Amino acid sequence: MSTDTLQRAPLRRITADGNWRSFVPVIVLIVFVAIISAIEPTFIGAPSLKVLIDESLPILILALGQMPVLLVASIDLSSAALASLGTIILAHSLQSFGPGGLLAVLVLTTLAGALNGFLVAVAQVPSFIVTLGALGLWQAAALIWSNAQTVPISTGYEYIGWLVDQQLAGLTVGVWACVVLVILMSLFLYLTNAGQALYAVGLNERATLLTGMAARRTKILAFAISGLSAGLASILLAAKQYSAAPGLADSLLLPCIAAAIIGGCAITGGVGNPLGVLFGALILTVLRVGTTVAGVNPNAQQIIYGFTIIVAVALTIDRRRFSYIK
């Protein structure tokens, strides 16, 4: 039982759970960047890396929202569709409320997430089902509201444009905003009781209930965070595209879940951290951008993509839970 405590002690200072597996995302990222750079040396240059980082932001934001949901052993299939709907809401609310439109989007998407959480925690419908239904709902709402058209954002663009126009130390403000987001998320998870409760509920919901913890509220919170992240992602996407569109973020659904899982989140709950998710998002973006740069046949890119997810999870998964060893 205590055999590996000794050799793991120094590791624990660096990683959250004192486990070498926490490093897998970093190693995978370095290996991919090295391979692609070997094929196409300009890939490692500053301009292309900046593009890469900018590209990774929407996936990162959505994956940071997916993480707390995965922590409580659930899944949110609706977050990308909610982000798409968010861009439509944003286009209209910027016209009506000016900067207040940003707040309106964030409040509405957070509430939409919390509603998912309510159905999961209180009505006890499995999250896969609830969010699958919500996915269709948000997609249809976005289509109807926009008449299935792209909505250009001109009035009020100045309130969101700064995210992609303004630069700070060579990177866009949006990048720094995401760095702050990762830090805030980490602080929330490690230093608040609500953040800690996400882990405990995901690992053993029954025990947390019998300890008098607010397990249901914790689940609702997880989904509300996912909703909030969809709102944030919608603002960034709209700023990038100068427009809103139904389905703008829809293609990010599987990448954002994959990023969280490659970043070390366990689909069974209770395991994961924001830094890992950051690397997960970078890995996925490197795969998407890098395979094109390296001249991989676009039709074959999905092969590498699929292969990576399986290998990364196979390396990261904690098999202690399945072993005989006491």
- Which residues form the interface with another protein (CB under 8 A)? 1-6, 12, 18, 190-193, 196-197, 199-200, 203-204, 206-214, 270-271, 324-326
Cβ-based nearer residue to another protein, 10 or 170 = 10
* Cα(141)–Cα(81) distance, integer angstroms: 10
Cβ-based nearer residue to another protein, 167 or 192 = 192
- Partnered with residue 243 across adjacent β-strands are 152
Least distance between another protein and beta carbon 325 (Å): 8
Least distance between another protein and beta carbon 175 (Å): 27
Least distance between another protein and beta carbon 326 (Å): 6
8 HSE (CA, 13 A, CB side): 14
Residue holding tokens 């292309």?
Answer: 48
Least distance between another protein and beta carbon 255 (Å): 27
Cβ-based nearer residue to another protein, 6 or 310 = 6
DSSP E strand boundaries for the chain: 151-152, 167-168, 171-172, 243-244
Least distance between another protein and beta carbon 72 (Å): 13
Cβ-based nearer residue to another protein, 147 or 326 = 326
Cβ-based nearer residue to another protein, 199 or 279 = 199
Q: In the structure encoding, which two tokens stand for residue 244, read together?
A: 């809103």
Q: Judge contact between 41 and 293, C-beta under 8 A.
A: no
Q: Judge contact between 108 and 89, C-beta under 8 A.
A: yes
Cβ-based nearer residue to another protein, 227 or 269 = 269
DSSP class per residue in 32-62: HHHHHHHH-GGGGSHHHHHHHHHHHHHHHHH
Least distance between another protein and beta carbon 260 (Å): 18
Q: Judge contact between 75 and 228, C-beta under 8 A.
A: no
- Partnered with residue 203 across adjacent β-strands are none
